[in-house]
């Protein structure tokens, strides 16, 4: 799995940003951005991690390199909100499908794409 400095650089380049763009957009010093990307500093505070993840539009876990879930809308809170909006039949379908995916994962197989 990649680390924080690699993810930060990857996201910046993917968006076509210069370090000054990130600094301007986050309120962090350009030198801080450089140190984070080089790995010279690899311990951002939770506040800095949140600021950068909001700026890049990714989860804090993804930016930190501890998760591959990039989309901040994939959280248990969002999934719970979706579940609560469904009628009973669709809730049953969703739970069945979630169990199916869990079983696939446990078996180490991918049955469908």
Question: Quick one: DSSP state of residue 108?
Answer: T
Give long-range contacts, CB 8 A cutoff, 24+ apart: 54-61. 55/22, 55/25, 55/26, 56/11, 56/12, 56/15, 58/11
pLDDT at residue 42, rounded to an integer: 85
Domain positions in the chain are: 4-64, 76-107
Report pLDDT digits (tens) over 22-74: 999 999 999 999 999 999 998 899 999 999 999 999 999 999 999 988 988 88
Whether the pLDDT of residue 110 is over 70: the answer is no
pLDDT at residue 72, rounded to an integer: 85
Average pLDDT, the chain: 91
Work out the pLDDT band at 79, boundaries 50, 70, 90: confident
Stretch 81-101: mean pLDDT: 94
CATH topology of domain 4-64: 434 Repressor (Amino-terminal Domain) (1.10.260)
């Amino acid at each position: 799995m990649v680390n924080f400095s690699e993810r930060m650089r990857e996201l910046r380049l993917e968006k076509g940003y210069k370090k000054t763009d990130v600094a301007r957009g986050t309120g962090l010093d350009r030198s801080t951005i450089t140190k984070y990307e080089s790995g010279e500093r690899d311990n951002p505070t939770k506040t800095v991690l949140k600021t950068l993840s909001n700026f890049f539009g990714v989860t804090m876990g993804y930016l930190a390199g501890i998760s591959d879930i990039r989309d901040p809308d994939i959280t248990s809170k969002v999934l719970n909100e979706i579940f609560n909006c469904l009628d009973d039949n669709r809730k049953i379908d969703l739970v069945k499908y979630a169990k199916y995916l869990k079983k696939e994962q446990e078996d180490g197989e991918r049955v469908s794409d």
